[in-house]
Amino acid sequence: MKKAKRNKPSIYDIAQTVGVSAAAVSYVINGKDKVSEKTKKKILETMAAMGYVIDQSAVSLSKGKSSLVGICFPLESSSLVFSDNPFYSEFLANFEREISKGGYDTIIGYLKSPSDFERWLISRGLDGLVLFGLYSPEIFKIIHAHKTPYVLTDFYDPALNALSIRVDDALGGYLAGKHLIELGHKRIAFVGGELATSKVDSKRLEGLNAALAEAMLPAARLIETSTNFEGGYLAAEELLASRDETAVFCGSDIVAIGLMRRAQELGVSIPEDLSVVGFDDLKACTYVYPALTTIAQNIPLKGQVAATALLEAMNGGEGMNFPPIEPRLILRNSTASPKK
């Protein structure tokens, strides 16, 4: 195979012009201090002069380390989760920025079949993985077989002793409940994803019910829907069919936003007729009117912590489980005391 002549210089080229061996160049590149200051300096200079740039493929082949991490999004109901819920892109932006400090590039992927996943993981020689959502045992088997460090987000399976970045969802739910109760609400609904598959939402509901119980109030009415705008939009109708509740807590902002939207179309005004609180603290919370009161899970921090944890894991540092991120209530304008 012939490549275009005179492309980029290799370590041999620079070694040759400096008058040393390729190994010497490799040493200075890798910071092994096996080279005298003098030659090191000369090497560095010629590298700059000749515009040397290391070839990652070669490094990868030689070291078995790609400096690539994969981030894998669930492929929910064949829609692009990415544009479904801004949560993902906000997370990605912050994760990427942090992991790049460690010299890693991020490659994105969607979860297709296990065999596609394996091909993706192996052929690229991914050094680490970030996984969103739920994955089958088969997937984990693959990951374990290749000993790839990974971090899970919002994962709750205690059987799996894995790094998991999450917020204290139950506390978040509790906070939301507490806030609504203090405002004087007695009947509260919860709108979230299918509890069977969304552990996160289960926890959030749990927290809400704990607050309710503490105040001797009845447990929340539960409405399950899909975790996106449309889900919230649809749930609004079900919620408003009976007007027993004066407040609703949604498992995600995007659901809350959809719900508010539909409620307004149906003529119920927020927060006068209905208080709503969300969870996540997306940017979009301030896009809507009234601005959405929510439980912040500090997405930027989450992205950053995930990166830090993964970096740690890839450097061999086992254990190092990060404590859950503490959620907090962000007061905006979608909640108020009930009218009557």
Partner DNA sequence: CTGAAAGCGCTAACAT
Partner DNA sequence: ATGTTAGCGCTTTCAG
The 3-state DSSP composition of the chain as helix, strand, coil percent (nearest 5) reads 45, 15, 40
Amino acid symbol at 58: A
2 scored as a contact of DNA (CB under 7 A): yes
**Please, which residues have CB within 8 angstroms of residue 236's CB and are 6 or more apart in sequence?**
258, 259, 260, 261, 262, 263, 266
**Please, which residues have CB within 8 angstroms of residue 57's CB and are 6 or more apart in sequence?**
none
CA 307 distance to own-chain centroid: 10
63 scored as a contact of DNA (CB under 7 A): yes
By beta-carbon proximity to DNA, the closer residue of 30 and 113 is 30
User: Would you call 253 helix, strand, or coil by DSSP?
Assistant: helix
- Binding partner of residue 35 among a second copy, DNA, none, CB under 5 to 8 Å per kind? DNA
Q: What residues pair up with 68 in beta bridges, in sequence order?
A: 105
45 scored as a contact of DNA (CB under 7 A): no
Q: Which residues are at the interface with a second copy (CB under 8 A)?
A: 1, 3-4, 8, 51, 53-58, 60-64, 66, 68, 80, 82-84, 86, 88-90, 92-94, 96-97, 105-110, 118-120, 122-125, 146-147, 229, 257-258, 260-261, 264-265, 283-284, 286-289, 291
By beta-carbon proximity to DNA, the closer residue of 27 and 88 is 27
Q: Read off φ and ψ for residue 74, nearest 5 degrees.
A: -70, 150
Q: How far is the CB of 90 from DNA (least distance, A)?
A: 35
Residues 19-38 that bind DNA (CB under 7 A): 19-24, 26-27, 29-30, 33-38
Distances (CA, A) of 327 to 174, 247, 279, 281, 297: 10, 20, 9, 10, 5
75 scored as a contact of DNA (CB under 7 A): no
Contact residues toward DNA (CB under 7 A) are 1-3, 7-8, 10-12, 19-24, 26-27, 29-30, 33-40, 52, 54-55, 58-59, 61-64
